[in-house]
Amino acid sequence: MGLADLHMHTIYSYDGTASVPAVLKRARQLGLDVIAITDHDEIAGSLKALELAPTYGVEVIPGIEVTTAEGDLLALEVTEKIPHDKPLTETVIKVGELGGFCIAPHPMAGGFGMKSLSAYSILKALRNPNVARTLIAIETYNATAIDKMSNHYARVLADRLDIAQTASSDAHIVEAIGLGTTEFDGCTADDLIAALKAGDVRIRKQKEWTPVHILGSWATHYIGSTFTRIANAA
């Protein structure tokens, strides 16, 4: 049995606070088998994690959280930037052409600057066979979403579509990593991808944080990581 957290951020994201080594260290401490660093419209942190991963004994799927014209999209198993602000269908097809796959993160979630795909956008896109081959899962448990009801709505949508359901932390601070994980048979990234395509994955949740805890912890870490983020951007 393997555990994966496929949605998290580092200081390469405008809103991330953790260094890549800190993320990998935390993942190892938690016993995660597979992770994906998915910084907003940026691939550099994920590629750095891919390079460092063998040292930490954690397998990394390279990825990025792409801002599409209709909301955020996780593009995984890609090693280059995906053009942002393009239509959802166009973006998913581009990911597929690069040999990657997609997960719809926190669909229908609102609040605190969330850019989420609507149910309509997902349903419309999946009518395209090229999209359906690449958009293979919906994140139905986002552990740090402020809008908790969105997880319920996402689950209802995924049940209707009979599509794989994932759980992720969407961590913006290192302590949040692993609050939501996807369980699968096996322990490698290849095992995970095969399980996602077969719809044979399970959701695992840790104790939920309150919105105050989520926002307060992020604000504290964001202020504390100011100099590190500035140095990283230089």
Ordered by where they begin, the domains of the chain are 2-233 (3.20.20.140)
Distances (CA, A) of 143 to 26, 59, 180, 184, 207: 16, 21, 5, 18, 9
Whether the CB-CB separation of 182 and 201 falls below 8 Å is answered with yes
Please report which helix (H) or strand (E) contains residue 64, including its range.
strand 63-68
The per-residue pLDDT string of the chain (234 residues; one tens digit each, 9 = 90 and over) reads 999 999 999 999 999 999 999 999 999 999 999 999 999 999 999 999 999 999 999 999 999 999 999 999 999 999 999 999 999 999 999 999 999 999 999 999 987 778 999 999 999 999 999 999 999 999 999 999 999 899 999 999 999 999 999 999 999 999 999 999 999 999 999 999 999 999 999 999 999 999 899 999 999 998 988 878 777 876
In this predicted structure, what is the pLDDT of residue 57? 95
In this predicted structure, what is the pLDDT of residue 184? 98
In this predicted structure, what is the pLDDT of residue 234? 62
Question: What six digits make up the tokens of 43?
Answer: 């691939």
Q: Beta partners for 101?
A: 76
In this predicted structure, what is the pLDDT of residue 231? 77
* Segments in the chain forming alpha helices (H): 20-30, 44-56, 88-97, 119-126, 129-132, 149-161, 189-198, 211-224, 226-233
Residue 31 Ramachandran class (φ > 0 left, ψ -120 to 50 alpha, else beta)? left
Cα separation, 185 vs 198, in Å, equals 11
Q: pTM of the entire structure? A: 0.96
Question: What six digits make up the tokens of 4?
Answer: 């994966």
Cα separation, 179 vs 43, in Å, equals 23
